[in-house]
Amino acid sequence: MKLLQSKLSRYNAPQVAQAAGIYPYFRKIESDQSTEVVIDGRKVLMFGSNAYLGLVNHPKVIEAAVKATEKYGTGCAGSRFLNGTLDTHLALEKRLAEFVGKEDAIIFSTGFQVNLGVVACITGREDYILWDELDHASIIEGMRLSFSNKLKFKHNDMSSLEKRLQQCDPDKVKLIVVDGVFSMEGDVCNLPEIVALAKRYNATVMVDEAHGLGVMGDHGRGVCNHFGLTDDVDLIMGTFSKSLASLGGFIAADKTIINYLRHHARSYIFSASCTPASTAAADAALDIMLSEPERIQSLWDKTNYCLKRFREQGFEIGHTSTPIIPLFIRDNDLTFKITRDVFNEGVFVNPVVSPAVAPDDTLIRFSLMATHTYEQLDYAIDKLYKVFKENGVL
């Protein structure tokens, strides 16, 4: 065996989990991603989706994607920089910038690529990136490519952030990067304090609104809008893959920042542009977000209902206040087993284990859509309660 294969063959964690019948990944969905999905010919309730507004199978979103494909074809055959810019990309960029309250924006092909490209290039060798320890992997990957000094602060801990700011050279750029809503734990960043510290230490702020868009703020404008701090946040990042029911992402900021990123972010320049269908679907989903605010209200009604029920039943749900509800288990294998047992009861939830979180912080991620019915919520919570109890977690 060659050295590489011999080394990699020692990695057998998936096979061990498969042999134990608790491997939870790559479950094969055979239907659209509604509140119910079909897996192995069987209907299960979906509580693992990020499509918070339930728009991925909305007729208007589908129609927009089909029409765009008919007009522009299936792909752009190149990057935005060269031959891959469509009129629809430019129109959506303008719209998204206005939507989140910034001067300009650029669209990337995924949200991951936004963070990767932006965080990697925006600060220089002598500058600093200050990041929350629970920031999304795409921010961390971007940082790994950056030449700047990287300073980690404790999750949402403002005295830890302040200590880090004190360590920085006051004359160098200091970029604070946080998730607006943390993707696994569902808690909201302490933006008012972050902005206050940024002002005190002359730092720049970037907020990842992946899970804030469509959920928080006026008509789903996100966490920055929710706190009334849009003008104090320098860079606002969003994805199309959650509330906007598509695939792609964007960064919005002032013209100076966007001009730089447009010509330096390598995941933007050296990767094919967002497909016509994805662009049109996100645009159509934005139309619905703006014209049907009752969807967001319904998402919050269901969120508050579930938060209350989970608390009443004794689940440990951490500091969440959003449609992302972590159900802490604090054991890798048990998290896999419970995911399997709940799935057998007809409920799809996502396991979150180490290294995504610390081994003592493993959890089941239960996420809501505006389109869930209360009957579905009750069914899922009852089954989760039964399985958690059977496995000795409650």
Return residues touching ligand PMP (CB under 6 A).
110-112, 115, 136, 138, 179, 183, 208, 210-211, 239, 241, 249
User: Which listed residue (89, 102, 136, 211) is catalytic?
Assistant: 211
Active site residue 109: no
Which residue has the closest beta carbon to ligand PMP?
111
Nearer to ligand PMP, 204 or 239 (CB): 239
Question: Least distance to ligand PMP from the beta carbon of 110, Å?
Answer: 4
Question: Least distance to ligand PMP from the beta carbon of 179, Å?
Answer: 5
Nearer to ligand PMP, 104 or 185 (CB): 185
Question: Least distance to ligand PMP from the beta carbon of 51, Å?
Answer: 12
Nearer to ligand PMP, 112 or 315 (CB): 112
Active site residue 383: no
Nearer to ligand PMP, 76 or 237 (CB): 237
Active site residue 94: no
User: Which listed residue (58, 89, 136, 242) is catalytic?
Assistant: 242
Question: Least distance to ligand PMP from the beta carbon of 238, Å?
Answer: 9
| Listed residue (43, 49, 39) closest to 367, CA to CA | 49
Question: Least distance to ligand PMP from the beta carbon of 82, Å?
Answer: 22
Secondary structure string (H, E, C) spanning the chain: CCHHHHHHCCCCHHHHHHHCCCCCCCCCECCCCCCEEEECCEEEEECCCCCCCCCCCCHHHHHHHHHHHHHHCCCCCCECCCCCCCHHHHHHHHHHHHHHCCCEEEEECCHHHHHHHHHHHCCCCCCEEEEECCCCHHHHHHHHHCCCEEEEECCCCHHHHHHHHHHCCCCCCEEEEEECECCCCCCECCHHHHHHHHHHCCCEEEEECCCCCCCCCHHHCCHHHHCCCHHHCCEEEEECCCCCCCCCEEEEECHHHHHHHHHHCHHHHCCECCCHHHHHHHHHHHHHHHHCHHHHHHHHHHHHHHHHHHHHCCCCCCCCCCCEEEEECCCHHHHHHHHHHHHHCCEECEEECCCCCCHHHCEEEEECCCCCCHHHHHHHHHHHHHHHHHCCCC
Question: Least distance to ligand PMP from the beta carbon of 285, Å?
Answer: 13
Catalytic residues: 183, 211, 242
